[in-house]
Structure 1
């Protein structure tokens, strides 16, 4: 009898394929998030939904706004749940719990026949979504290979916009359908994403970092080996295991309580400006929401109907077309995020939003007061340009910046504060938008013009750059007690890594004692990017002054001799590029090289070219929309002409028929009387058989 082979974990998937399926699950979660953000924009303009839930008329605007915005309150509580009990459940169980809650909320909404039922369904769905959106990105980054992490995070943001794009086209297609299916179907379509999550998450691996934090080291080692597609005894797997263990222990020993942060009781808090860094990260989410994005995401058709004067079908079509351009330009942001930096993209994006709202306000003001519909049509192009500007910068940077500006012990708390800020401000914006459009009209857009104008100097003067910097660089920067106004410091605003941090790294490496172990560590750090040397070394702000700790200051807790042994064995066995001493980098590392792109010496910069493409696309949409609107108006004129002309033609035909009838009656009467002897005259010969009258006598 043949011996059966042992059961393969994760259906035999390893390495890239295992990462692919984890990405499918996480990307599906973010797609569902984007779908949920856009689905209600089509529901709230469906007449069957409004009549069934008694939301018709201007007196119900406040209630309609609450029904829409209550979803964000559920998301806020879901995020709180994720950061409290989510750590005890694990990444997989937290996502499955959130998916179950979303399933319940979807069933309640799809079967809704009362306003109370719809409100409960929105809250329940929001709780599930809040848990999932707070957990899925963490699960993705903790299970992906280092070389893929950044790209996968960008992919998830793109999938979020893809879900938003998909639901806008579904809403447009269902605008031609009557009855409850026009709003029940898009709500029920969420089960497609829920099914994918239930079909993938249960059999995928748990986060190795979470397993190590809960003492399940052996299981974490097996999962790391599967992710890297290497044996469990591989030096790469062992090195990652030790790195995660060190990180977990460091976070436990340096955890800071919220009370200590607010009261500044902890020395580390004062040294590294923890409170300031938390506020900088959370404020990016506040600026994202008060920049006006969810006015458009939640109410785009409503805005186009009430503010611009479009029909429901045309408003849904333009919302769908806008989602396509939104997806394209948000994906293009990956080309600029490192080149222009976080500050540069936030400034560029906010300036574009300011310009969009300013022009929209002016055009709608004259369109309403002067009754010029062409100005309302022109404003549509700047609605498109707003989404392009937002997608280039303020879409992704507010999610990225809090993870970079906060220190390692405060990363989780910083993410929690930023996420909570996002949902609370999201609720405020969604709640006030319908009320503002109804009561203020075109003046409502002045509010968002002012907020974006205020955010520009805030970003310019107070936000330090985090691009191309290590976490230790940010700790060193804030430890130097920098000025609140960062524009005074060139190193704090440049997108390229400051030279002083590069020199500090070289000095740290030169101060390491033990030439042999230094070479091995340098080769290992250069070959497989283990940050051990940076974690255990020290640096000085001034080489001639006393040494100050920088970054992770605890020494390596294992046996250095054992560590050096397995590093040497790795070099001898695997033969990496730096295996031979003559092939190793020089002490202090190589000088940074600035590679030039193969671009013409003169020409447009990529950012200017991107904005130009956005302007051209916006103008193209404006011309297309104008032509479509003129065609629709001409079609409506022809339709009304036919409707009004048919009775006139029928009446004229009836009058002609009456005239012909009267003429026939008159003719018949004349024929019967034969007064003019027309048919009985002497011209006709008498028939021979006629009776001859008797002769007359004289």
Structure 2
């Protein structure tokens, strides 16, 4: 890349915090589309005009399939991201996914029959699957370690407008993604080191020759080279091999990321995200109007409590948030199960009271989920996987999320209709089981650089992480800090020495030129004098 191109203002002149903020805006908008479909379609499926238009009044199975088929599209989109993520880069992958989503949104909001609605939801899902696999990686690779965690009326119109409203988010993505920086880690993996260094400098609001930038770039290059030498191919992974001596723990890291996404869905969030109005109508006995009103209130509450995790995700740590959220969610589902059991008992005198009480625990469940499980599973695969496997790991994690999402959304209406209150026992058991799983096997990633995690897995092959203090601490291990400081000092001294050598060479060159010029003048004077003497002799 030419020096002229490098010095030309990029990203509208933004650097540092503001540049990171705009990358976050793009990624947050991308992920909002995922949550938006869940929230909106939960209200759409109980809208009478939607049910009448698509002839779904007596077909709960088809209704659940139309809802869940979106997740199948997302699953295949996530699988597609495995293949296109590295060749296209983070930005181009998101723009491709956004274009596909535009087509899907248009098909849905103009649908007058089941086939078009199904096709529209599959197409939109493919685009969303690509985007939800890519956005967390892009965000994670362009953020500081301490910021990553911070960074969802008339009859016919009542369901067409919300589906069409997706275009607002799509426009935001088209307006922001093209001019934002590519992932520096992806650029280095493609050999574009100089360009990556300038982006790292822009994100830190400093110069590309700053020792910290050089150290960060060197660490990324080392991780890239190490992974190229040690990480297994897809064929080796399928045959159960894990690279040279299992040095990078590739399979273990893949399973940790996929497991986090699976636990998010098996915690029962989409029992309520897609079907809260249905749950309140069929399980609690509310009217459609009141159920939709409470679902809307719950969405606002969910949004507000989700903000609590933003300033605390680094302080509390990923492990603690998942463990304590699972405990809270499990208690909520346990109480929901008991209260709905009483509500369904023949002759029980306080049915209305226990039904009303269960609503409070549906709301409280969302509080725990919003704080703990809403964001961490999307963040974790990008932090836990190595650079060479980061796109693939995030895509496989996302694919796991979507296939589990499909399963939950598909069985929920059937489960509520068939086994009633017993259906909620499933989610109670799952939530409580996640506590030991996270405690035993999931290392902490808060306040670590992505290169710190590579170093941890190269040096620690014990799967039971709770036995290692550095693996579960919410603070960055001192050993990693000292290594980084030593590297920065070494880089600084090397560059200081190079600068002194350059200055010395420049001084020597100047002195040499001055002497040469002086010698030239003396030679001229000598020649002139000899000439005069010659003339006098003659």
Q: TM-score, normalised by structure 2?
A: 0.81
The answer (yes or no) to whether the contact 1:290–1:429 under 8 Å persists in 2 is yes
Greater RCO, CA 8 A, separation 6+ = 2
Task: Say which of 469, 473, 488 aligns to 1:491.
Answer: 469
What's 1:154 paired with? 150
The answer (yes or no) to whether the contact 2:146–2:314 under 8 Å persists in 1 is no
Deviation of the 1:397 alpha carbon: 2.9
CA distance 1:236–1:350, shift in 2 (3 Å): closer
Please give the secondary structure, in 2, of the residue aligned with 1:206. Answer: coil
Deviation of the 1:69 alpha carbon: 0.5
Q: How does 1:423-442 map to 2 (within 5 A)?
A: 423-442=402-421
Matched, 1:209 2:198: no
Task: Say which of 453, 475, 478 aligns to 2:460.
Answer: 478
Task: Say which of 297, 304, 319 aligns to 2:295.
Answer: 319
Provide the C-alpha distance between the structure 2 equivalents of 1:42 and 1:218, rounded to a whole number of angstroms.
Answer: 50
What's 1:105 paired with? 104
What's 1:17 paired with? 18
Task: Say which of 275, 285, 305 aligns to 1:309.
Answer: 285
Deviation of the 1:19 alpha carbon: 3.1
User: What CA deviation, in whole Å up to 9, does each residue of 1:330-382 have, x standing for no partner?
Assistant: 22234554454433322211111111111111111111223711211110010
Deviation of the 1:467 alpha carbon: 4.6
Provide the C-alpha distance between the structure 2 equivalents of 1:48 and 1:441, rounded to a whole number of angstroms.
Answer: 27
What's 1:366 paired with? 342
Provide the C-alpha distance between the structure 2 equivalents of 1:240 and 1:405, rounded to a whole number of angstroms.
Answer: 18
CA distance 1:462–1:138, shift in 2 (3 Å): closer
The answer (yes or no) to whether the contact 1:402–1:415 under 8 Å persists in 2 is yes
What's 2:536 paired with? none
What's 2:495 paired with? 566
Could you list the runs of 5+ residues in structure 1 that have no partner in the other structure?
A: 1-5, 156-162, 164-173, 510-520, 527-532, 534-559, 574-698
User: What CA deviation, in whole Å up to 9, does each residue of 1:226-262 have, x standing for no partner?
Assistant: 4444455555555544444333333333331233234
What's 2:60 paired with? 61
User: What CA deviation, in whole Å up to 9, does each residue of 1:376-426 have, x standing for no partner?
Assistant: 111001001111122232223323333444455544443233222111111
CA distance 1:105–1:230, shift in 2 (3 Å): same
Provide the C-alpha distance between the structure 1 equivalents of 2:99 and 2:370, rounded to a whole number of angstroms.
Answer: 31
What's 1:452 paired with? 431
Deviation of the 1:55 alpha carbon: 0.5
What's 1:52 paired with? 53
The answer (yes or no) to whether the contact 1:273–1:478 under 8 Å persists in 2 is no
Matched, 1:115 2:114: yes
Q: How does 1:165-314 map to 2 (within 5 A)?
A: 174=153, 177=154, 179-232=155-208, 235=211, 237-266=213-242, 268=244, 270=246, 273-314=249-290
Deviation of the 1:451 alpha carbon: 2.1
Deviation of the 1:102 alpha carbon: 0.7
Deviation of the 1:206 alpha carbon: 2.8
User: What CA deviation, in whole Å up to 9, does each residue of 1:549-580 have, x standing for no partner?
Assistant: xxxxxxxxxxx9xx84314568999xxxxxxx
Deviation of the 1:433 alpha carbon: 0.5
Please give the secondary structure, in 1, of the residue aligned with 2:73. Answer: helix
The answer (yes or no) to whether the contact 1:235–1:567 under 8 Å persists in 2 is no
Q: TM-score, normalised by structure 1?
A: 0.64
Deviation of the 1:199 alpha carbon: 1.8
What's 1:381 paired with? 360
Deviation of the 1:503 alpha carbon: 6.4
User: What CA deviation, in whole Å up to 9, does each residue of 1:587-606 have, x standing for no partner?
Assistant: xxxxxxxxxxxxxxxxxxxx
Using the TM superposition, name which of 361-370 and 48-57 deviates more: 361-370
CA RMSD in angstroms, aligned pairs only: 3.2
User: What CA deviation, in whole Å up to 9, does each residue of 1:438-473 have, x standing for no partner?
Assistant: 122222112212222333343344445455664256
CA distance 1:344–1:227, shift in 2 (3 Å): closer
Please give the secondary structure, in 1, of the residue aligned with 2:308. Answer: helix
The answer (yes or no) to whether the contact 1:271–1:478 under 8 Å persists in 2 is no
Deviation of the 1:270 alpha carbon: 3.7
The answer (yes or no) to whether the contact 1:29–1:193 under 8 Å persists in 2 is yes
Provide the C-alpha distance between the structure 1 equivalents of 2:465 and 2:187, rounded to a whole number of angstroms.
Answer: 40
The answer (yes or no) to whether the contact 2:86–2:391 under 8 Å persists in 1 is no
Provide the C-alpha distance between the structure 2 equivalents of 1:340 and 1:571, rounded to a whole number of angstroms.
Answer: 46
CA distance 1:222–1:449, shift in 2 (3 Å): closer
Please give the secondary structure, in 2, of the residue aligned with 1:45. Answer: coil
Provide the C-alpha distance between the structure 1 equivalents of 2:17 and 2:472, rounded to a whole number of angstroms.
Answer: 35
Please give the secondary structure, in 1, of the residue aligned with 2:26. Answer: helix
Who wins on radius of gyration, i.e. which is larger? 1
CA distance 1:12–1:468, shift in 2 (3 Å): closer
Matched, 1:345 2:321: yes
The answer (yes or no) to whether the contact 2:268–2:408 under 8 Å persists in 1 is yes
What's 2:78 paired with? 79
CA distance 1:478–1:19, shift in 2 (3 Å): closer
What's 1:583 paired with? none
Provide the C-alpha distance between the structure 2 equivalents of 1:468 and 1:231, rounded to a whole number of angstroms.
Answer: 24
What's 2:533 paired with? none
Please give the secondary structure, in 1, of the residue aligned with 2:55. Answer: coil
What's 1:332 paired with? 308
